[in-house]
Amino acid sequence: MNAAKDWMSRLDEIVWGPQEGTGPALQPRGLRIVRTVLVLGRDLALGQITLRAMGLVYTTLLSIVPLLALSFSVLKAFGVYNQIQPMLLNFLSPLGEKGEEIASSIVGFIHNMNVGVLGALGLGMLLYTAVSLMQKIEESLNFIWHVTRPRALGERFSRYLTVLMVGPILVFSALGLTASVMNFEAVRGLLAIGVLGESVEILSRMVPYVLVSAAFTFVYMFIPNTRIRFIPALAGGAVGGFAWQSAGWAFATFVASSNTYSAVYSSLAVLILFMIWLYLNWLILLFGASVAFYIQRPEYLYAKSGEPRLSNRMRERLGLSVMSLVAGRFLAGKTMPALQELSGLLGVPVHTLQVVLDALERQELVVQSGGDPPVYLPSRDLEQISVKQVLEVVRGAGEDRFLSPEHLPAPQPVEAVLDRMRLAIESSVSDLTLRELAALETEAATQGPATPTAIPGSNE
């Protein structure tokens, strides 16, 4: 028993122990793969991906008919509206005969939806219901990418309507172009050649994987409110596409051999199987997004679930370091730092640094530019920002009017100790401005590490 514990402890140290001389982005590739697999398994078992997938199933059931009705109206203008039912049949093919029944019912609902009868209010509800699914997808992907700021309302609607209106046209255009090319006499003649014909047959089997992977990659890059690189998105799309096609085959086998559902649930069996299939689809989409996230952000690969919380000492240290770097760059007329650059300079993960930057930005000590990527600038004259202000901001991050020191009564001796601490900080750094702090940093860099620099106003 002790030997097994020692072996597990040794294995845990190998996988999760610190690697000398390497940062998160420079870890050995094999170790990063092992950590990614373990973290993905943990997220599936204990994380909120499954809950998000369940929420998307509920939203899909409410919005699938309005969503397809909008696509139907767009495709009708291009004369290809009759392709909706074949597309649904292909998506629901793992359900077998029950899939045909569901597809026929959905198409019937679409044909019975008369926009003229709905009126202005009904049309608005139709658009909102269709857009709500896109909003739910964005919220789920933002959660995976640890994005706390949603897009502006106008930008969200423009992106959602672009996907709803232009997406179906592009999909059916690609399918139609493929069918037209395959019908050319020259192409059909080439396919008659044995080796080429076999190669095309193999490629045709890979086309569904490629199309689904491309669709997933597009969703991962277009929907989340953050900048996602192509390679991580493509890797997540490839994993999601392969998992989706494989899940379709496995689910079709399950449906074909599960007569128990029909015997127990009777007419509800169709709905239950449909919901299970929707759940698997959304779970695979979110799983692929997690793969892309961990490839782009390896600093999130740590053993325990959740994110590490910063201590007050770390907040103060990071806050002063960030403000000193920003002020120094500003005074020297150099390029201002972006989030990723600050993370590299300070040697801390992006998500840890973001907590401090958000607190500084909320209190208007720094401001983001409108560039891509945005850089951080001082929000006002450096002479008007004191070190004491920076410390107060980072120490008070997370407080609000319902949870603040003023609303937490303390015994008189405790209040006396806290007052002494506050007065000690004020007497030490109250006269030190951010400009002076940046100048001290420049002076220290010029003199070298052997020569200490005195802080104005201190007793040293």
| pLDDT beyond 90 at 46 | no
Q: What percent of the chain has pLDDT over 90?
A: 5
More confident residue, 411 or 240: 240
C-beta of residue 75 within 8 angstroms of C-beta of residue 169 = yes
C-alpha distances out from residue 416 to 104, 272, 411, 422, 450, Å: 75, 64, 9, 10, 39
438 versus 233: the higher-pLDDT residue is 233
How many Cβ atoms from other residues are within 10 Å of residue 136's Cβ? 18
Question: Could you tell me which residue, 23 or 407, shows the higher pLDDT?
Answer: 407
Contacts of 349 (CB under 8 A, 6+ apart): 24, 299, 300, 343
User: Can you tell me the mean pLDDT for 56-77?
Assistant: 74
Task: Answer for the pair 70, 130: CB distance below 8 angstroms, yes or no.
Answer: yes
Q: What is the mean pLDDT of residues 159-177?
A: 61
* Among the listed residues 335, 347, 344, the one whose alpha carbon sits nearest the alpha carbon of residue 374: 335
Strand partners, 403: 400
Average pLDDT over residues 154-181: 61
Q: Which domains are seen in the chain, by residue range?
A: 45-300 (no CATH), 325-447 (1.10.10.10)
> At 113, is the secondary structure helix, strand, or coil?
coil
Question: Residue 140: which H helix or E strand, with range?
Answer: helix 115-144
Q: Which of 194, 276, 195, 208 is nearest to 243 (CA)?
A: 208
pTM: 0.71
Q: Across 9-18, 137-146, 194-203, 252-261, which has the greatest mean pLDDT? A: 137-146
- Reported as a single tens digit per residue, the pLDDT across 252-309 is 777 776 666 655 556 677 778 888 888 998 999 999 999 999 888 887 777 666 566 7
Q: Token digits for 399?
A: 């407080």
pLDDT category at 460 given cuts 50, 70, 90 is: very low
Q: Answer yes or no: is pLDDT of 38 > 60.
A: yes
